Chain A
Amino acid sequence: MYEISSAGNKNRFRRKIISLGRKIYLSAEETVFLWDAINIIPIFANMNERVIEKLKVLAEAAKYDVSCASSGTSRKNRKGMLGSASGWGICHSFAEDGRCIALLKIMLTNYCMFDCAYCINRRSNDIPRATFSVTELVDLTIEFYRRNYIEGLFLSSGVVRNADYTMERLVRVVKDLRTVHHFNGYIHLKSIPGASRELVNEAGLYADRMSVNIEIPNEKSLQLLAPEKDFQSVFQPMRYIQQGALQSAEERKRFRHAPRFVPAGQSTQVIVGATADSDKDILRLSSALYRRPTMKRVYYSGFIPVNAYDNRLPALKQPPLVRENRLYQADWLLRFYQFQVDEIVNDAYPDLDLEVDPKLGWALRHPEQFPVDVNRADYEMLLRVPGIGVKSAKQIVTSRRYARLGAEQLKRIGVVMKKAQYFITCRELPFLTVHELSPEGVRHILTQKTGKQATDERQLVFQFQEEV
């Protein structure tokens, strides 16, 4: 039933593994053996009830990582391979919390020797633990993919033994998927903090995107909450990824067939609300990260007190979802609306306004910039008008070549006139602007809750660009 996959393997593990195969939860010592079991590939997939249980445990363990995007790589199918990458993310399902399910987001194991205060999988928690074998994980990925359940795999892991030991196992899964099973779908691999350059470099050859999570936006708090980690262990692998990607880009200029290295770049995640850090601290960090060539996304994850007993962390009744959404909106402004971080948050306004979105907030603080004449203003200024998004701004610029635009056309183009009317002039425009009404007046009008509020401020902004 089993065969030894690589010559370096010791036969003596063989029997041990077969007897272990029936267990659902293993003790820490047994895990060590199971890790070695990864070398042994069952010829016939052994998918059964046991795997259902493991899947449950390891999906639960992975779900607090909020990144889900499967975008950034465009790859056609190649002969004899399974799958493609579409370039734009495809959500294949939406979980009951409303979040996109694009990838099989899963941990290889939720055993962990670290004790990070904010993490459900920390060593001191008494929770069900499980470990997948390479085969199980590879089979799951491929069979889910063939049924159009997913775009690919998002793999992470708790730390077992040491960073490199764990990282090596992760690399083995993705290498197997790519080289043995010719899997051509999307792979996001979360690098283990502290992993070595060699392993990061190898992983980058198979993964589309890699990530190292910062989690806590300043080093002091990080060390308090995750004593085994420091900024070095996070930023070092980030640098390896960046260097690997830049180097490969260089080589591909000279040799067209030089291997690609994390073509979709890297991402990271910051937990919001677990520490006293202000939005200014968080967004300055994001903005610094976006200046790095391969950093594609910073995700914000509203803190969920999974370890309520730990009094280093605040006791929140509810995750700070509105704040999280405001951070995503501010992040959009940085990436697509040509805002500088200090225009959004600064020493005078260290935190985002929870009541209005950050673009409206900026406009209300800068009435002198308005009203904007939509038939004249340049694209950059149109982008700054509340209620005009990237798409509408572009359509305005092309359409006004044919005729001067009025309120009717703007509405049809998709401008949210409810907001925009106070900040623009167009062909007719009898509106009262922010000058006549004063910023306070406009704020008052726009924050009045009508019976059925159309927008849910707790919504996450993920795949799509909304008009802000």
Chain B
Amino acid sequence: MTVFRYDKSWEGLLTAVFDAYARRQFPERLLAEKEPLPLFCDEAVTICTDPAKADRVWKGLQKRLSWTALSMLTVAWLSELPDIDGLLFRYIRKAIDAPQSIELNFGDPDVLAVSKIGKKVGSEAHRVVQFLRFQKAADGTFFAAVRPVYNVLPLTLSHLTDRFADQRWLVYDVGRAYGYYYDLREAVEVRFAEQEAHLLSGKLDEARMAADERLFQQLWKTYFQSIAIRERLNPRLHKQNMPARFWKFMPEKW
């Protein structure tokens, strides 16, 4: 059995595809750099991530797949699932080898799996767009904390920068400890050296809040409670539509 070792980056994966074709040797497993070798391993090839090679693979894929299918690949990558790289590797290989585009062949288990994972990641991104809540800080910045299952913040940026173009904001992934700060021009990735309380809890404390923030949270909570029709309460549907894991960051649920 042959395994490839690489740095678990997207470009690394594409480089691995390039090297596999160059060597005419395809790995059965893709491993991280320090991962222990499996039993019965004949050969371990170490891949050095090379943007130029990655770029060539990507350009090749552009000729074989539609824009939708290409973005589906990157979206599925953001799932960070344990063997997403193996799946994408197989998909890309099939795409390169097949005489015609494979992207609509849902009879193929890999094509279907990529499409299913892509959809799951996409709907998680959609849920973040739905349920993310900004709190206004004393300095005027709007702060939102989220903890999505998949690494979806990058997928929400175009929507957020478009919609909230005229306010400064910070969206922060509490689980992955990074976020994006928008300074009225562009959104840039940020990490903080010091994990202050609100970066862990997701809630601004009173001292950091804008003067009217508490009031609007109260208003929103009041609205949320008043708008439900008591004759049709349906806690199951409520939970199904708005998964409890988001509640921690939503003022109407505090």
A interface list, Cβ under 8 A from B: 47-48, 51-52, 55-56, 59-60, 62-64, 76-77, 79-84, 86, 90-101, 104-105, 140, 143-144, 146-149, 302, 304, 318-319, 321, 395, 398-399, 401-403, 405, 409, 412-413, 456, 458-460
Contacts and interface: CB of A to CB of B under 8 A. Distances in A.
Given A147-B142, A148-B134, A402-B107, A63 B216 contact: no
Given A59-B226, A143-B216, A412 B134 contact: no
B147 to A, nearest CB: 16
Given A93-B242, A101-B227, 17 more contacts: A47-B212, A47-B219, A48-B215, A51-B219, A62-B227, A63-B229, A93-B224, A94-B242, A96-B233, A96-B238, A97-B230, A144-B223, A321-B232, A398-B106, A403-B107, A409-B107, A413-B112
A217 B29 CA distance: 64
A59 B219 CA distance: 11
Interface of B: 104-109, 112, 126, 129-136, 142, 144, 159, 162-167, 212, 215-216, 218-220, 222-224, 226-238, 240-242, 250, 252
A95 B238 contact: yes
B146 to A, nearest CB: 11
A149 B142 CA distance: 13
Given A63-B227, A77-B165, A86-B159, A399 B242 contact: no
Contact of B130 (A76, A90, A147): A90
28 contacts: A47-B212, A47-B215, A47-B219, A52-B218, A55-B222, A59-B222, A59-B223, A63-B229, A64-B229, A77-B163, A90-B130, A93-B130, A94-B241, A94-B242, A95-B224, A97-B229, A97-B233, A147-B133, A147-B216, A147-B220, A148-B133, A304-B231, A319-B231, A321-B232, A402-B105, A403-B105, A413-B112, A456-B236
Contact of A409 (B106, B133, B162, B232): B106
A59 B130 contact: no
Contact of A91 (B130, B228, B236): B130
A413 B106 contact: yes
Contact of A55 (B130, B159, B226, B237): B226
B142 A93 contact: no
B224 A304 contact: no
A60 B134 CA distance: 25
Contacts, number: 160
B226 A56 contact: yes
Given A63-B229, A105-B227, A56 B222 contact: yes
B106 A459 contact: no
Contacts of B229: 63-64, 95, 97, 99, 304
Contacts of B104: 398-399, 401-402
A52 B132 contact: no
Contacts of B231: 304, 318-319
Nearest to A321: B232
Contacts of B144: 148
B133 A84 contact: no
Contacts of B232: 97-98, 302, 304, 319, 321, 458
B142 A63 contact: no
A332 B227 CA distance: 26
A405 B105 CA distance: 11
A402 B116 CA distance: 19
B241 A97 contact: no
Contacts of A399: 104-107
B23 to A, nearest CB: 30
Contacts of B242: 93-94
A386 to B, nearest CB: 21
B238 A92 contact: no
Contacts of B126: 90
B231 to A, nearest CB: 5
Contacts of B166: 80-82
Contacts of A101: 224, 227
A147 B83 CA distance: 37
Contact of A84 (B107, B109, B162, B236): B162
Nearest to A401: B104
Nearest to B242: A94
B21 to A, nearest CB: 24
B228 A63 contact: yes
Contacts of B129: 90
Q: Ordered nearest first, which 7 A-B pairs have the shortest CB separation? A: A98-B237, A59-B226, A95-B228, A98-B234, A94-B241, A94-B242, A96-B228
B223 A104 contact: yes
A63 B162 CA distance: 30
Contacts of A52: 215, 218-219, 222
Contacts of A95: 224, 227-229, 238
Contact of B132 (A60, A148, A395): A148
Contacts of B250: 93
A147 B163 CA distance: 11
A82 B134 CA distance: 15
A306 to B, nearest CB: 9
A142 B33 CA distance: 50
A187 B126 CA distance: 21
B219 A97 contact: no
Nearest to A100: B241
A415 B226 CA distance: 39
A302 B232 CA distance: 10
B219 A147 contact: no
B116 to A, nearest CB: 8
Contacts of A93: 130-131, 224, 242, 250, 252
B238 A144 contact: no
B162 A77 contact: yes
Contacts of A97: 228-230, 232-234, 237-238
A298 to B, nearest CB: 19
A460 B229 CA distance: 13
Contacts of A302: 232
B110 to A, nearest CB: 12
Contacts of B238: 94-98
A445 B200 CA distance: 52
A304 B131 CA distance: 29
Contacts of A48: 215
